[in-house]
Chain A
Amino acid sequence: MSAQPFIEVHGARENNLKNISLHIPKQKSRSSPGVSGSGKSSLVFDTIAAEAQRQLNETFTAFVQGFLPHYGQPDVDSIENLNSPIIIDQKRVGGGSRSTVGTYTDIAALLRLLFSRIGEPHVGPGFAFSFNTPQGMCPECEGIGKTVQLDMDKFLDRSKSLNAGAIQHPEFKVGKWLWKNYTLAGLFDNDKPINQYTADELHALLYGADLKVPFGEFNTTYEGLIERFTRMYIKKDAAAMSDRNRAIFEAFTNSQTCPLCQGARLNQAALNCRIRGRNIAALSDLEATDLLVFCKGWMTTPSRPA
């Protein structure tokens, strides 16, 4: 048992708290109901959790503290006998498309380690099974499992000229800086509808030409529409974009399952490595309930016939 059986809160005044004091028994589970806005969160999160986390953070060097979340000093006289806190809130985990339940819980790391030990044929250490490392990721989709292409029919209204707003994407609108890259390039008749372009002109518009575009005081390197869009948008992670930008991005692109890895995210060496006939991608796609059954199978029966 703990030497001090209570967490003692004295004079808590954060938000609407009315200078309250209370003793909370330790090593007990404890609930704090109360109507919405009654001060539950002010007591539990803004006072007790904030103070415990703040004091814990102060045990680190100033440099490390710079990376830790900030908790202000709560308005309370004193809190005695605090324990180290672990705060489990409801903020969404979020993360980009490289973050999965497996990576977040570190269960994926255990599974990778296991494949590196007993998978057949032997491939290499655990990171050869990670879609987030160059050693493991599918070379075609770079570990995302999907490939994204620009949808040219939506991106370009070929019945219009550049000056009439042939390019549909909002960042390429008439008058915008990106639009000037094309109209000032001197490659095109800016009043000619795109569907009347010659093959060479169309190629230059879409895939680029070796050229500098004069912008008065400076020049920029000319890039074709597809090249530029791929660099500016497709190489970025859509899950990390703002809602608005992602909506625009999705309106102008088609995504399809990666033709090489079939969505498994890993390179062929990793996918060919199996335990009991299953590769790591197949196991990762199992619902946890089924994966547990599979795992228990390993534990109870010998992995090769005796």
Chain B
Amino acid sequence: MQGLDDDPIAARVAAKLTERVGHLVDIGLGYLSLSRETSTLSGGESQRVKMIRHLGNSLTEMLYILDEPSVGLHARDVARLNALLQKLRDKGNTVLVVEHDPDVIAVADHVVDMGPRAGIHGGEVVFEGSYTALQQAQTLTGQFLAQHLPVKTEVRQPTGHLTIRNAQLHNLKNITVDIPTGVLTVVTGVAGSGKSTLINEVFLEQQPEAIVIDQSRVTANSRSAPATYTGIMDEIRKVFARTNGVSPSLFSFNSEGSCPHCNGLGVVYTDLAFMEGIATPCEICEGKRFKADVLEYHLRGQCISDVLDMTAEEALEFFTEKKIRPVVQAMNEVGLSYLKLGQPLSTLSGGEGQRLKLATELHKQGSIYVMDEPTTGLHLSDIGLLMGIIARLADAQNTVILIEHHLDVIRQADWIIDLGPEGGSAGGEVLFEGPPAALQGCELSITARFI
């Protein structure tokens, strides 16, 4: 057999191959196989796979820009990620990261904190400097960095339990797990340990009626917006119609009332053949999406276009209608106060889309809620808000199951199921089941070391 020692080209290829596979392991994706289809990767996994493509090159003085690379990473894997970011920097590159995770912020050489709050109350640089200086700074980020939610000691009592018996899908090692009902359960474990398999595949197959709030994109065509997605647009149209004594369909930018020039899109696309097309604001409606005479109809002094331009925060002050207020209220509660009612859904991030789903689902009468990393994209100060909503669901004796890495969320659980010990074939076992206070004594669990 011809071997590496006879074939210098093969030896070089083998060396390169070893290096690249090593990157895959270093970045915390050691549980993936090369034959895994990319369409099955999560957002966080996708981002790390993209990083692999760039790690091999020897370009220097590049500007790497990353969007929340810690998403979906267990505290242990964040340390590996940090090492990679530092490696990129040490090669002579500039690395720019948008991030909420305190552990990633801690390794930055320079931190820029934006704020002070969201939407129109934000947009300023409130802090620039080192991490140690940020810890002392009087900004929201600075204040919350020092503050950790305590480990919950008084947990809710379950009303019963749902049993997953002998699960062996993918890497699960024939495990049997009781999920307590009527309380908040958090499923943890390093990336690839089998959390999603256990909950999203095995458990949901048993409980198809569960309300699932995941990170799959909210349906986004160029005409969907928070107002249409949450269903309040119908009510808004009815109120406008009733107040003005005209047909509700006038107030839809998808039908009768839409600007005929841009068909309600607000912009006109000009195709420039082989050059990129240009979107220009519609010259007839000036981007307002409606016919001029529709804009003559007002509700408490605002026309329909003004209403769609309101943020959820402004809308909460404006609306008194019983069917609209709770939804707008929920949007504020999930940390989307800055979102405009008419903003195209295609511009929302994964985390924003997920919280919009949550706001929409909060009113539904469900008994089981499953949420896949609801803290994605949330600032430390917003996590408390989200946990408040989740606590309310559990207080109403709903069964709430979170797949989550965020330590503050894990500390606030009533019940923890920790999977591991590692990712892929080295995972799939239950390391710990019980309340958070007992997790600290569990030697097997990697999660316990970080609590």
> Within residues 33 to 66 of chain B, which ones have a CB less than 8 A from any CB in chain A?
33-39, 41-44, 46-47, 49-54, 59, 61-66
Closest to A118 in B: B10
Number of interface residues of A (CB under 8 A): 91
The prevalent SS among residues of A at the interface is: mixed
In the assembled complex, A92 has its CB within 8 A of some CB on chain B:
yes
B350 near A90 with CB under 8 A, answer yes
Give chain B residues whose Cβ lies under 8 Å from the Cβ of A291.
21, 33-34
> Within residues 112 to 129 of chain B, which ones have a CB less than 8 A from any CB in chain A?
112-120, 122-126, 128
Give chain B residues whose Cβ lies under 8 Å from the Cβ of A232.
none
In the assembled complex, B396 has its CB within 8 A of some CB on chain A:
no
In the assembled complex, B309 has its CB within 8 A of some CB on chain A:
no
Of B65, B93, B111, B124, most buried by chain A (CB within 10 Å of CB) is B65
Interface hit among B11-19, B158-166, B205-213, B287-295: B11-19
Give chain B residues whose Cβ lies under 8 Å from the Cβ of A35.
115, 117-118, 122, 140-141, 379, 381-382
Closest to B334 in A: A36
In the assembled complex, A228 has its CB within 8 A of some CB on chain B:
no
B10 near A117 with CB under 8 A, answer yes
A101 near B33 with CB under 8 A, answer yes
Q: Which of B15, B20, B37, B99 contacts A107 (CB 8 A)?
A: B20
Give chain A residues whose Cβ lies under 8 Å from the Cβ of B42.
92
Interface hit among B22-30, B223-231, B410-418: B22-30
A63→B114 CA distance, assembly (Å): 38
The prevalent SS among residues of B at the interface is: mixed
In the assembled complex, B378 has its CB within 8 A of some CB on chain A:
yes
Number of interface residues of B (CB under 8 A): 111
Closest to B66 in A: A88
In the assembled complex, B317 has its CB within 8 A of some CB on chain A:
no
Q: Which of A15, A85, A96, A104 contacts B49 (CB 8 A)?
A: A104
Give chain B residues whose Cβ lies under 8 Å from the Cβ of A97.
37, 39
A289 near B34 with CB under 8 A, answer no
A52→B63 CA distance, assembly (Å): 9
A304→B1 CA distance, assembly (Å): 7
Q: Which of B18, B54, B115, B276 contacts A38 (CB 8 A)?
A: B115
B100 near A22 with CB under 8 A, answer no
A100 near B36 with CB under 8 A, answer yes
Q: How far is the CB of A6 from chain B (nearest CB, A)?
A: 10
24 contacts between A and B (CB under 8 A): A16-B119, A17-B123, A20-B125, A24-B94, A28-B109, A32-B114, A35-B118, A37-B339, A48-B96, A68-B276, A88-B54, A88-B65, A93-B38, A100-B38, A101-B24, A117-B2, A120-B1, A285-B33, A288-B25, A292-B21, A292-B25, A296-B18, A299-B15, A303-B1
- Chain A interface (Cβ within 8 Å of chain B)? 2, 7, 15-18, 20, 22, 24-45, 48-49, 52, 62-63, 65-66, 68, 70, 82-97, 99-108, 110-111, 113-114, 117-118, 120, 239, 281, 283-292, 295-296, 298-299, 302-304
